[in-house]
């Protein structure tokens, strides 16, 4: 009828965006695509989010034209390995691996201070809480919250000022690693949301940005065997690593 607005279809993807998302691919096979997601871009759309990874996935479609599918998420400000399923059957297998905790995830973080002990497990349930202005925040809540467990280890430290942590979450709660690092008394560098003023250090290049990176993931491949993908640090974060004398290419695989 006159005056009806046709339903909005997928937004056309510009050549620049098409080239950009292709440049993020660090692994590709018939079932799985792995991206090294930069910090600062959302994985999915929402209020005040116009450009996001999910909106650009048509650019990664294979010859059969099937649209790739997200199987997990990273926070907007977290960088690193993001797995995409090439087709529906792959999405089901990958989704099962994440739900069944068969996905072994390794994160790197720079934290302000050095945790004691330098190796351990954080077991603190967390829950979402509505904050001011409609923003959600995650808080520790051992009564009403969901179980959240993280293993951690100090890889290196710059005096008592900063530590490089490798984090192995056993559960996958929203903002789990950020809340757990703050609980240790060593908030992630740049994480004002959970660390407040203590999360900031003067004179550190890029220190105002969250220094949390999804370094590697290992899980059963949908076609059999094991898939392991490792993502290099983004340039800005690698610069901070070098500023403190840390090697951004160091192998921190769990033995």
pLDDT of residue 139: 87
pLDDT of residue 130: 75
- CA end-to-end distance (rounded Å), the chain: 66
Q: Does residue 132 carry a pLDDT above 70? A: no
75 is catalytic: yes
Give pLDDT tens digits for 134-154: 567 888 888 888 999 999 999
Q: Could you give the angle at the alpha carbon of 43 between the alpha carbons of 244 and 14, nearest 5°?
A: 105
Closest CA to 198 of 161, 166, 165: 161
Q: Does residue 1 carry a pLDDT above 60? A: no
Give pLDDT tens digits for 72-101: 999 999 999 999 999 999 999 999 999 888
Q: Supply the pTM of this predicted model.
A: 0.92
Say how many C-beta atoms besides its own lie within 10 A of residue 144's C-beta: 10
Measured distance CA(116)–CA(228) in Å, rounded:
31
Higher-pLDDT residue of 1 and 60 is 60
In contact, 113 and 186? CB cutoff 8 Å: yes
Q: How many helices (H) and strands (E) does the chain have?
A: 5, 12
Distance of CA 145 to the CA centre of its chain: 21
Average pLDDT of the chain?
92
Q: What's the whole-number mean pLDDT along residues 19-28?
A: 97
Percent of the chain with pLDDT over 70: 93
Q: Does residue 177 carry a pLDDT above 80? A: yes
Q: Which of 17, 54, 58, 75 is catalytic?
A: 75
């Amino acid at each position: 009828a006159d005056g009806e607005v046709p339903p909005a279809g997928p937004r056309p993807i510009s050549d620049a965006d098409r080239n950009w998302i292709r440049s993020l691919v660090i692994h590709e096979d018939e079932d799985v695509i792995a991206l090294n997601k930069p910090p600062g871009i959302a994985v999915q759309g929402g209020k005040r989010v116009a450009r996001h990874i999910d909106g650009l996935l048509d650019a990664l479609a294979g010859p059969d034209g099937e649209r790739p599918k997200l199987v997990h998420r990273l926070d907007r400000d977290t960088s690193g390995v993001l797995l995409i399923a090439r087709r529906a059957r792959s999405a089901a297998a990958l989704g099962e691996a994440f739900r069944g905790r068969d996905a072994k995830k390794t994160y790197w973080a720079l934290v302000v201070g050095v945790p004691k002990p330098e190796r351990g497990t954080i077991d603190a349930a967390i829950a979402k809480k509505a904050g001011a202005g409609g923003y959600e925040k995650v808080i520790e809540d051992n009564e009403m919250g969901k179980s959240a467990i993280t293993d951690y280890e100090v890889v290196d430290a710059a005096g008592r000022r900063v530590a490089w942590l490798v984090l192995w979450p056993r559960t996958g709660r929203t903002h789990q690693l950020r809340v757990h690092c703050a609980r240790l008394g060593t908030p992630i560098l740049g994480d004002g949301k959970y660390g407040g003023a203590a999360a900031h250090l003067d004179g550190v290049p890029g220190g105002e940005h969250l220094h949390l990176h999804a370094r590697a993931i290992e899980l059963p491949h949908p076609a059999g065997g094991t898939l392991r993908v490792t993502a290099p640090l983004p340039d800005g974060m690698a610069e901070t690593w070098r500023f403190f004398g840390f090697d951004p290419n160091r192998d921190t695989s769990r033995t």
